[in-house]
Amino acid sequence: MIHPTEDFLKWDIRQRLTLLEATVFWTGELITGFLTSTFSISRVQATKDIALYISLRPDNLRYDRSLKRYLITEKFVPLLITGSPQECLQVLQISQSSLAPIVTLMSNLPAIEVLSPPTRHIDLNVLRPVLQAARFGLTIQMVYQSMSSTEFKTHLVLPQTLVFDGWRWHMRAFSYSHENSFRDFVLARIHQVTLLNKPSMPCPTDTLWKTDLSVVIGPHPGLNKNQQYAVERDYGMVNGQLTSTVRAALLPYFLLAMRIGKDDRQREAMVQQIVLLNREALKPYIAF
């Protein structure tokens, strides 16, 4: 619901209040310094922004003197955001683009149409605690349905980051339930989450996440010269190659998005169009 007063907010103030509200809603708290550092405004201006927001939604947050921050209340009602998981995930996806500020400011665009596949349903009561756990380093207990299991299972994990593979959102987490190893969990398959405390021991290094790989693709050798040239132009290849830097942990998702499998060279050239050129170098990280 949009408060009538919101229509009269100046553009810059609206942006700051939107971020303020989204931060409180998804993380459960707000520190004044977050606004000052994000928008390069004075502490006085940030305090005014918070006061303005409270005047519009007085029951949405309260100040905790011991923690020295604003906390969300049980009576929270969105003013500038919808509070839907899809909204949050779209913002997270756009925020990773270097063009995000430009996209936000552009106007007078031509008519466009974007084909979007059906979104995976993600429970709001799952996404919020997952975001908070990843942000504040908290463990969670979750009920998860894996496609490799016929039953729901309960896992104890320490969320690290969220990953969008082009189709689905995953949670990269250190799993105490999987012999203390890093695992990926599809957000849509998490059915219940309970926030717990910080782990008693430091989390080990996620080696696959820290390892960067060079993935080299090129036109399918079965294409003729003109067809290969067309593919090279499509992908902006140089000398018949395109090199992408990918985290080792995300290599399977990257190859899946590029429709590259173990039989890429054997598949019909017109259907496959591109192939993996450095398969041998990536062999230790490829599951197939």
Q: What is the pLDDT of residues 149-180, one digit of tens each?
A: 889 999 999 999 999 988 889 999 999 999 99
Question: Looking at the predicted structure, is the pLDDT value of residue 7 above 70?
Answer: no
What does pTM read for this prediction?
Answer: 0.78
Question: Looking at the predicted structure, is the pLDDT value of residue 219 above 80?
Answer: yes
Which candidate, 190, 180, 78, places its Cα nearest to that of 129? 190
The sign of the torsion formed by the CA atoms of 22, 23, 27, 32 equals negative
The Cα–Cα gap between 94 and 222 comes to 37
Best-predicted range by mean pLDDT (82-86, 106-110, 119-123, 196-200): 196-200
Question: Looking at the predicted structure, is the pLDDT value of residue 31 above 70?
Answer: yes
Which candidate, 48, 56, 59, 16, places its Cα nearest to that of 35? 16
**pLDDT grade, residue 87 (50/70/90)?**
confident
Residue corresponding to tokens 């011991």: 66
pLDDT tens digit string along 269-287? 999 999 999 999 999 998 7
The Cα–Cα gap between 285 and 215 comes to 11
- Rounded to the nearest 5 percent, the helix, strand and coil shares of the chain are 40, 25, 40
Domains of the chain are 4-83 (1.10.10), 124-202 (2.30.30), 208-285 (no CATH)
Quote the pLDDT of residue 95. Answer: 60
Question: Looking at the predicted structure, is the pLDDT value of residue 6 above 80?
Answer: no
Annotate 195-208 with b (16+ C-beta within 10 A) or e (fewer). Answer: eeeeeeeeeeebee
In the structure encoding, which two tokens stand for residue 213, read together?
Answer: 């790989």
Whether the Cβ atoms of residue 256 and residue 165 lie closer than 8 Å to each other: yes
